Structure 1
């Protein structure tokens, strides 16, 4: 077989361009590649980049002469055996010739050169180089053929071994469209031949997982690392779980010639592991929170899609002494269809013969398994065509209903359903569903018992905390004025050097502290009366403006002393209200006093009024410290004070008294604040009476105290103080 000879490279080294041209002209008929170099350094660079068949080297060159260049060429492993021919125009000297041969030269030629002689000598070295290159190529081909033969023999031996293996094996090469599989793989894929198209490997994989498997084997071929995953394989009549492992074949060069895939049946092992794992996770979920609605919702999310395509949880509740099912959780593989399941529940209430036998399971307390839900059952559960279409849309090919029972009590029903044909529930699934229902019932029962105990404990702890806090605050608030009164009393009794001004100042301090202490006692008595339902309300028509002005005058000295500007906008206030004037003034006094107390010097407190339909609104606005957002819902509760409130003293009873007094008048009070530093606005709404002559035709007012014991009985209207309590029917309000 004829083989084309390789082209050889010849290096021409001379510092004169004319000599290089002459050398090229002489050697051009050889048809080889001629490379120029005009110095020894350039020649060394060329030698480092490629191999040469011969080197023609001029002896006389600047910097590196021919002898030095030859010494460097022979010192390198790559160019040690390359023939070197010295060229010189100097008279032939025996010593120079011997020196050249000593450096490894194969010839020593004098210029001018005979072109034919030069060409003949170089042709010998070119032919020698070409023959050596041919030999190297043939040796490489032989080694490759031997390696391929060994590989094929190894593959043949491996096939014999794999055919005897019980594990399914698939093998393919990237340079061949055909693939091979052992008998175990043929059993996995009935009708599959031992040799078939490489793409038929994916036919054994579940359609939903083929893209992942293909990406895995391509990644293995790209990186050379084995790829392993668990996927379903088989036929549409029965999918089973297998552990797939793709191992690339040993590569040659930069490519991997193919891969081997093994498939190990792990369906039973996986099922047992999944059941154990699902029950373990369900126990964690059911014990993670005392809010059983949230835990049941998380349980439904947990089982979808591990055990069901959709799941619904219905819990028994008692409404007006009637037991009803309330759907507390729905989960679906398609989140949009969860709403359709809720719609299905609303259209077919379970206790009225609803879908899927939930009502029957609840009545009997026994689980129910429907392996297949035929169209006849769908028509019975949903007589109207659109209802049956809804059931088909949600999907119910096979379903299980299990009651949630614990301690002889049924808490509800859990429904598990499969919408596709990939699986049918069996007895093993029913046992798992029953266990899930039992654990859910135990968790729900424990949560209800714990919540009840925890609620009672919180009530007791809160009452104890409020009691301790109130007693500490009360002792401090009572001791403060007493200390001042006692101190000034002793000073007035024991010191004779006090002048009249000092004595007067001491008496004023004693009076002010005594009034403060009396106010504390009055607040305590008012709370006690409200709690026991014995608060006296002398209701009659009063001029609201007079009450507001009296409240303003009572707090004006305090405002002036603290440097707070007090403003009023009462021009539009001319109506009468049906109220107890003293208690109503107490409401406004408390609100104005609070506003002044929490407003810094230079601030402003404004009392305004406006009429709104049959109500009048009294608003107390201040530019003070404001109320934190987290405290706003609790400002009208007893003993509730923020950090700012504790700094200014008080028992935390004033606003609670305000709320109850306003509600006893048939009105309401609310507060608005944007937070610390933004002030606060308290608004009191009261019903109006247009004039004293207008007869009162409304319903008899009933006194109710939200948050306290209800004060039962009828409160009559009288213009004579003291006549109200005598006219009460039922328990008296004192």
Structure 2
């Protein structure tokens, strides 16, 4: 190579304007700047010429800078060419680390100081020039040997070596040459300073003595393989600083130096201190991991974006609610992942880029539409992410699932509405049912004086049926009242639902198909459950005025966790009533369980409200799913029971006569009168009392006369006097074997549901039919 030939510098960048700018910056009369627009072109240039240094852009299409550097390093002729990476994008530590791993001597970030660039390039140009001079001098030495000028050539060599060492002393890396057995032969001044040794003491030191034993044990295999193969090696190890000092991480690059026969004569090594970079990278990684663990463990959903509004991070809660995973959502617009409706502020903020988000706490209610189209009620807030200088770096969206809380609040509001109706019902129920009791009792008496088939008997039957309808209406209102409870007994829900559904559809223009898929016992008020099923079938019938089909199914389901309806985990009986009617709109679905709400001209608005109240008082839930024109499906869940059905007993049937003494306690004289006449007709002796005090006195007096009462029928509520609750307590104190039946026109009183707890043998709700009361008395009097 001609010593006057210009030194070549290779500049690689895919942007022509960058090549032009770098060429002008590095313009020097003694240098020639060769440009390449791609990694592929750069490789061709490296094959054609020898370069003092390569300025290599990292981010390029096709072969990027790292791939190009790797290929250059693989070629023996070009592997020692200094490479300086230049980039404007990949500034993270891992990229810098990767560049040094590939053998880069430096890593510059755009924009950079031109003087620094020129200085760095000048060092390698000068190093190349000196190296070329050394080679030229070597040729002179060979020529001098032939011309007996060995002394002059030797002087040139010594001068070249000194210059080489001087140049090596200028670089910030540790530079050394070790023999084949890894003993130090040459080190630069930086190495002497780091190891805190002088030239004589360094000569006997072995390279492996200054490497941390943990790194040596872990890397020893690679060291040995490189030594045996005569290959170069790049590895991160900790080097001891001084004989008794600490250790610092270095990126060590070692390559062999061969003799004329191709055998390894020595090893050339360069160690770059990366301890600070590693500590920063480890700290960043630890902080990132802590942040990641924190974000993934909290219950609120968190989504962060960059300044372009594209998703950067989703935590676990956000993945569950949106249906997107971190990998799927990364890089997508926030509005595509976080889809909301109903709240303009949130929707507008989501559609903005990261720099435009104004912020706000998680107090805005919205509806989040998941990837699977499921909807979640969320409380959300959006705020900008700012750096230490206050510059917006992105957006943070924090949102919380409040679906269950919202559902509970809706349930509470429904219950509150129903309770307001119950207050009105409770106020009139007692008096109204007392009147109905007298009416039904007198009808029963009148029927005793006529026979079936007679016109009067038929009229009385119709009158009794009308009174029962009035009773049902009152009972529907009472189901809304607070504090009351159904009179529960173990029932087989499947048979009750089947009988009720078939009865309700009998004679109509609908076909009701009942499927009992599981035989489940529940504790329930059978009459109320029949009323619920009747209401649902009737509702389906009204939704299909031209006729159609209704499907009713009974299954057993298990719930493993609490939900927004407040149901505890466990076994449940599931009753589903589905029709093919006109369906229910979303707006009406939120109101169909409200009292008096109806969309039908002839509807009372009490059927579904009653059903809702009954189911809730049985610790269950009732829900609806519907789309307009696609029918409706009502779903009921009732807690399953492990209790057994009571043994069947022979019904009283048509027993006409009885015996025994009955004490009737009621504040209404017409009720005492009608009951007295009924029981007298059936052969009983009857006594009367208008309140608890009279009943206790009469009971004691009867015992004293030796003619005790066998059963006492007590009205629960006596205005202005002692009612059944206190009276039965005092009665049992006097006679623990006394038998009492509680009766009330307000059947939702807690005592009516738990009558045995208060000392009663049975309970009967007003108004009652003659046969119902007579059966209960027969049961109590049975031995």
Larger Rg: 1
Global fold match (TM > 0.5): no
